[in-house]
Copies of this chain bind each other. A is one copy, B any other.
Amino acid sequence: MIPGPFLLYLGHSDDEVGIKTSRGLAIFRPDDCVGEWRHDDCPLTLGLPRMGVAEARAAGAKTLVLGIANAGGTLGEALVRDALDAVAAGMNVASGLHHRLRDEPRLVRAAEQAGVALFDVRDPPAHLPVGNGRPRAGNRLLTVGTDCSVGKMYATLALHDALNRRGVAADFRATGQTGILIAGAGVPLDAVVADFISGAIEQLTPARSDTGWDLIEGQGSLFHPSFAGVSTGLLHGAQPKALVLCHDPSRPHMRGLPHFQLPDLADCLAANLSVARLTSPDVQAVGIALNTVKLDEASARRLCADTGAALGLPCTDPFRFGADPIVDRMLQCFAPSSQPISASA
């Protein structure tokens, strides 16, 4: 486990979506975050005290979390220098970037000298199996999306919270660096070797014999030309009984790709159900999760109502308004009495 409390890095970021790992920790583990480190050119804030490494160390921070994301996940020179400063101040460094901290000799040397640790959250487990698609027992829900970074993790954590409040056993299964930092476990799916995508998810969500749920954080989108392979393997490995489609209505185009429009919601849901049926023939959609952060409350509620009516499914912003409408549908569709648990694989 990565030692808290954390100093959350924003650096020079000027893209809200790019700081999603730092923001996720600030929101879902607030008690473990002492401050945010941003440079003068960074217009963003998490609402935490702004501090550098010395103040953070004095405030008790044990680990700098490089909670920023960029396409490709590279570790630039500015980032390395800031990480070296944190190490020199006696802090561990954790990163979810593809480019590993341990592949940067200056950091490795400095960390050794300072007696601190480097954590590469995106290291996949060793010895992953190839997926086998064999039917396995248990309730699994997967969040899928019209695009990357549209709120799949938030929706999954909100469902987890709503189920727990009703006394239904539920486990959050993290598949990305932010989720893994929040949950303390999971598999960084986009860093797994391509042949093992579905196998990694089968291992992460083994058969369960109770009436509880594995709630699996989705990744990417079948309609994102950079990452649809990850989304496809995730759908097959998850073998989901239930899908929730996540969408950000303010997104002007596919993330990072101005030349790609977002898919129609009904088309996107149909494509996800079609791919999921290969390993889970009876899969059902149980709701739509909208990320309405950029809408006022009345507009957000109206959009949820309209979207739900158009698609014939419960629709909510689960982080803003709670996940209960979707949980109601889940528990109705998969009531324990009407749900034979097949023999485990």
Contacts and interface: CB of A to CB of B under 8 A. Distances in A.
Nearest to A234: B229
A259 interface: yes
Could you say how many copies of this chain the assembly holds? 2
Contact of A195 (B131, B191, B199, B275): B191
Interface in A189-223: 189-195, 197-199, 222-223
Range, interface on chain A: 35 or more
B130 A71 contact: yes
Contact of A198 (B73, B130, B226, B236): B226
B130 A197 contact: no
Contact of A223 (B129, B231, B278): B278
A218 to B, nearest CB: 14
A132 interface: yes
Interface in A256-293: 256-257, 259-260, 271, 274-275, 278-279
Contacts of A260: 133
A236 B227 CA distance: 9
Contact of A72 (B130, B230, B259): B130
Contact of A233 (B129, B133, B229, B256): B229
A193 B194 contact: yes
A81 interface: no
Nearest to A73: B195
A225 B198 contact: yes
A316 interface: no
Contacts of A134: 259
B192 A226 contact: no
18 contacts: A130-B227, A131-B226, A132-B226, A132-B257, A133-B226, A134-B259, A190-B194, A191-B193, A191-B195, A192-B194, A194-B233, A195-B230, A197-B229, A223-B278, A228-B233, A228-B236, A229-B229, A229-B234
Contacts of A233: 194, 228-230, 232
Contacts of A227: 130-131, 195, 198
A98 interface: yes
Contacts of A199: 226
Interface of A: 71-73, 98, 129-135, 189-195, 197-199, 222-223, 225-234, 236-237, 256-257, 259-260, 271, 274-275, 278-279
A282 to B, nearest CB: 16
A230 B199 CA distance: 13
Contact of A190 (B195, B225, B228): B195
Contacts of A229: 194, 197-198, 229-234, 236
Given A225-B278, A228-B232, A230-B229, A133 B257 contact: yes
Contacts of A226: 130-133, 195, 198-199, 236
A335 to B, nearest CB: 28
A134 B256 CA distance: 11
Most buried by B among A132, A195, A271: A195
Most buried by B among A193, A199, A236: A193
